[in-house]
Structure 1
């Protein structure tokens, strides 16, 4: 009995410690000083996109030959790209431009009805038009999860002069068809899930109060089922971004991912080079989703990262950075070939 009580007390103590660490990480999420997270920014600001303030962040040479535009995933923020930004920091030929799409990170909170992939792509376009001069260099578009579908939408709908500057794309753990077509996300179509999200929409404050308590239970589940995080710090960082996302965004983008597809991006996508990356253990967007993209995109390379889950950008950052380097090199070559002699 004594031994069992000691174990129980130790477990409660660890839970309190984890809860305190989680709260602290959440409080420091956007201070741009704490690691993991974006640090030492060269510039930051907001762009007004039809009354919605869209936050952007830059690291690197503003006159770089290639600008990498990072688009984060569902219930995340630009903070999620911290490893890739640090990897590119020392390169004088590359600038990193990150966007918090509406309802995420430091951008304006909006109603669920305004959380659409079209609107999110327009947010990214507004930042590009503001931050990248017309005579600037090439653009590489990088999107993870929801951000991958936003990237496809941007490629499909961008004005011709912007599209002509896009030299490559890196699509990570994402889909061209409805997210609910394959994998565990098929549960999004269930009547139980619809009832749950409807309840959240009706009484958001009640569910907001529960989020930190739920996080203590959800975090180890995410680690065991959804992802392959090697460190608790990374898991807590991911959870902090989830907790930071307002419930209207949670509900609104949920509806979009259930129904939205981007097959019409195929025509323009065929004109670009790039890669599609997926974790072998991703049950949110399984390998078949990436294979479907490659069927429509002949100029891409499919890379499967063994043992990684849906949050591959945090689980295996080195391999994502390696893929990014390859695409940037191809974009730089394209930029040189297109330059006047």
Structure 2
């Protein structure tokens, strides 16, 4: 059974937040969704965490301008602001005890921003990390699965389109338009195999994102560079997961994170795309549960200083 509670941030934006599990749990897990998505994309992992013994507390919320949360001003559609938002969420909803942060796509970038802007707070609170289909290098490695010249043209078109959408206000895509987006979203976000329910969840999430957020966050996402931040985080239970068919944050993005963050295990999933938390939800849930278990252990096993690459079946 979950508990829903709105949280109004310092600038007046209200986040739609949901929590599961005992309030006095030893570990709190915070799940951060991707750009143009919402907290529903984590539903498989939430179910898996609720079956753990002892059960952790789980918190998931819709980012400003996404899902059921309030819209954002264009000037606040930045990763830096999302890092500030995460800090406020932790202070108000999980002020004590160790925290495991799991981020998909923009959610992973939000975690890096939080670490960059609040390093002491991060060090004192965070006991485990999971980065899924994300990057610390903006659009450096993004080629959309296309040849370089076509990728450059697509980025120009995407950037121009994002600028137009950013000025379109707090409107959301009309539901009549969503079925037309299905082929594009399937190609861009999914790999070789996927369940139709996963694609439907993704389409519905896009439909709840304001046009201002769809376009407004694009510049910040493309510009972020946080490898240096990762190198200063120290050695803690962490994993980086990516699909080898990911057209937005391909394996080189994950490799950069794993190289920068000491002891991190990198896993590449053949045939999987960007929506790894839906496409390979059992594997992602298993990795996240293992991190939560290790984060809650009084004695941590010494970890290697170089990442271990594992190619999943």
Give 1:151 deviation, angstroms. 0.9
What is the deviation of 1:333? 1.2
Q: For 1:170-218, what per-residue CA distance to the aligned partner results, in whole angstroms no more than 9, with x for missing partners?
A: 000000111244332955884433332333345569x956x54543232
Structure 1 partner of 2:108: 148
**Cα distance between partner residues in 2 of 1:75 and 1:188:** 22
**Shift in Å, 1:319:** 0.5
Q: Does residue 53 in structure 1 map to residue 17 in structure 2?
A: no
Q: TM-score, normalised by structure 2?
A: 0.85
TM-score norm. by structure 1 comes to 0.79
Which of 252, 261, 265 is matched with 1:288 structurally?
252
Residue 22 of structure 2 corresponds to residue 98 of structure 1:
no
The question of whether the paired residues in 2 share the 8 Å contact of 1:276 and 1:301 is answered with yes
Q: Report what 1:255 is aligned to.
A: 219
Contact 1:47 1:127 in 2 (8 A): no
Question: 1:270 Cα shift?
Answer: 2.8
Q: 1:203 to 1:323 in 2, by over 3 A?
A: closer
Q: 1:335 to 1:67 in 2, by over 3 A?
A: farther
Asked if 1 retains the 8 angstrom alpha-carbon contact of 2:243 and 2:276, the reply is yes
Q: Secondary structure of 1:83's match?
A: helix
Cα 1:68/1:336, change in 2 over 3 Å = same
Q: Does residue 1:219 correspond to 2:179, yes or no?
A: no
- Report the number of matched residues: 294
Structure 1 residues 129 and 225: alpha-carbon distance in aligned structure 2, compared to 1, 3 A threshold = closer
Cα offsets for 1:111-165 (capped at 9, x unmatched): 222111111111111111011233xx31111000011110111123226245312
Task: Indicate the SS of the match to 1:42.
Answer: strand
Q: Is contact 1:143–1:149 with CA below 8 Å preserved after alignment?
A: yes
Is residue 237 of structure 1 aligned with residue 197 of structure 2? no
Query: 1:1-341 maps to which residues of 2 (within 5 A)?
Result: 40-91=1-52, 92-134=54-96, 137-158=97-118, 160-184=120-144, 187=152, 190-202=155-167, 211-228=174-191, 230-334=194-298
Could you give the per-residue CA deviations for residues 7-63 of structure 1, whole angstroms, max 9, x where no partner exists?
A: xxxxxxxxxxxxxxxxxxxxxxxxxxxxxxxxx313433132332222221000111
Q: Which has the higher helix share?
A: 1
Structure 2: distance between partners of 1:295 and 1:74: 24
Instruction: Please tell me whether the aligned partners of residues 270 and 299 of structure 1 are also in contact (alpha carbons under 8 angstroms).
Output: no
Shift of 1:307: 1.6
Q: What is the CA–CA distance in structure 1 between the aligned matches of 2:86 and 2:266, rounded to whole Å?
A: 25
Residues 246 and 300 (structure 1 numbering): CA distance in 2 closer, same or farther, change over 3 Å?
same
State which drifts further: 221-230 or 266-275.
Answer: 221-230
C-alpha displacement of 1:283: 1.2
| Structure 2 unmatched ranges of 5 or more | 146-150, 302-313
Take 1:331 and 1:240, find their aligned partners in 2: how far apart are those partners? 33
Distance 1:188 1:157 in 2: 34
Q: Secondary structure at the match of 1:195?
A: helix
CA contact (8 A) 1:56 1:127 kept: no
Q: Secondary structure at the match of 1:303?
A: strand
**How far does residue 98 in structure 1 lie from its aligned partner after superposition?**
1.1
Aligned residue number for residue 148 of structure 2: none
Cα RMSD after superposing both structures:
2.4
